[in-house]
Amino acid sequence: MAPLALITGAAGLIGQYLLKTAPRWAPQWEVRGLTRQDVDLADAGAVRRFWRNLHPQVVIHCAAQSRPGPCQQNPILAHRINVEATALLAELSSDIPFFFFSSDQVFDGSKGWYVETDQVNPLNVYGETKAEAERLVLQNPRHSVIRVGLNAGTSPTGDRSFVEDMRNSVKSGKPLTLFTDEFRCPLPAGMTARAIWELIELNRPGLYHLGGAERLSRWEIGQALIPRYQELAGQMQPGSVKSYTGAPRPPDLSMSCDKLQALLSFPLSGLRTWLAARSSAGADLWDYESP
């Protein structure tokens, strides 16, 4: 029998890409995705009962309350989902590899190009819950934390990636203000999935940054997407993160991924590089194949 890889948050963006890329990048694994319909990860009793019938050899924990706004509005629920559920799954996975998806938002954004040894200093509740969960996960030397930034792609529900959020805003007639002074390292979700499958096979647990090779402002990201999403043209306006009134937004969350890149068999692409390659090849824009 093939070993079982269990993926939580299978209805989310990265979870979906992990599932659909497994036949190519992880054919030796039996892959099972878990969604909220299978088990509520915030219900510890239900999780323990559900776990009795499982015998995974690796767990990839993607499930989270990942939007800073709702986390800020309901910090108790955010802690239950992002910290307590993670701690329970890490406990149940104490003897096997466990991969926890964290976020670039554990940093305050004051300097950019963060490396794994930089001190965390989250500015919002979402970042705080991820930083706390990281500490719990890394207590086990078998376990890994993967800090990711913005992931691009398409989801079955059409509302899981930043690209979909932008397109949905335009379709609904909402103003789309993109900050010229907020920087990220976006990466296609299919490339994120491929990197995780390779890291699992390498058996090199630890803390890793996983993002794109290019540091782009939100405004630059929007401009780069216009050739493929014409509906964005003329609908975006530049703005400043300093004027934002919602959950605190770190200004520069660019991350260095040199540690992980040294282990991978393929280069982590920048978003503009990816878009240019896909355009010239005439391929599906967010197809999981590397350009």
Q: What is the CATH number of the domain that holds 142?
A: 3.40.50.720
Please indicate, yes or no, if residue 236 is contained in any of the structural domains.
Answer: no
What average pLDDT does the segment 81-88 reach?
A: 98
pLDDT digits (tens, 9 = 90+) for 41-68: 999 999 999 999 899 999 999 999 999 9
Phi, psi (rounded to 5 degrees) for 112: 80, 170
Please indicate, yes or no, if residue 207 is contained in any of the structural domains.
Answer: yes
**What is the model's pLDDT at position 48?**
96
Please indicate, yes or no, if residue 97 is contained in any of the structural domains.
Answer: yes
Please indicate, yes or no, if residue 48 is contained in any of the structural domains.
Answer: yes
**What is the model's pLDDT at position 157?**
86
**What is the model's pLDDT at position 280?**
61
Listing DSSP states for 225-252 in one string gives HTTT-GGGTTSEEEE-GGG--SS---SB
**What does each C-alpha distance from 94 to 57, 129, 131 come to in angstroms?**
11, 21, 20
* pLDDT-derived band at 278, boundaries 50, 70, 90: confident
Please indicate, yes or no, if residue 42 is contained in any of the structural domains.
Answer: yes
* pLDDT-derived band at 291, boundaries 50, 70, 90: very low
**What does each C-alpha distance from 63 to 7, 26, 27, 75, 151 come to in angstroms?**
8, 20, 23, 16, 15
Please indicate, yes or no, if residue 291 is contained in any of the structural domains.
Answer: no
Q: Please state whether 153 falls in left (phi above 0), alpha (psi between -120 and 50) or beta.
A: left
**What is the model's pLDDT at position 160?**
86
Helix-then-strand count for the chain, H and E: 11, 12
Residue keyed to tokens 């629920």? 77
What average pLDDT does the segment 23-27 reach?
A: 95
- Total domains in the fold of the chain: 1
**Mean pLDDT taken over the chain:** 94
pLDDT digits (tens, 9 = 90+) for 133-142: 999 999 999 9
**What is the model's pLDDT at position 290?**
45
Which letter does DSSP use for residue 100 in this model?
A: E
Which range is least confidently modeled, 135-139, 167-171, 222-226, 279-283?
279-283
pLDDT digits (tens, 9 = 90+) for 211-267: 999 999 999 999 999 998 999 998 999 999 999 988 899 999 999 999 999 999 999
Please indicate, yes or no, if residue 124 is contained in any of the structural domains.
Answer: yes
Please indicate, yes or no, if residue 181 is contained in any of the structural domains.
Answer: no
Domain that holds residue 96: 4-158+186-215+255-281
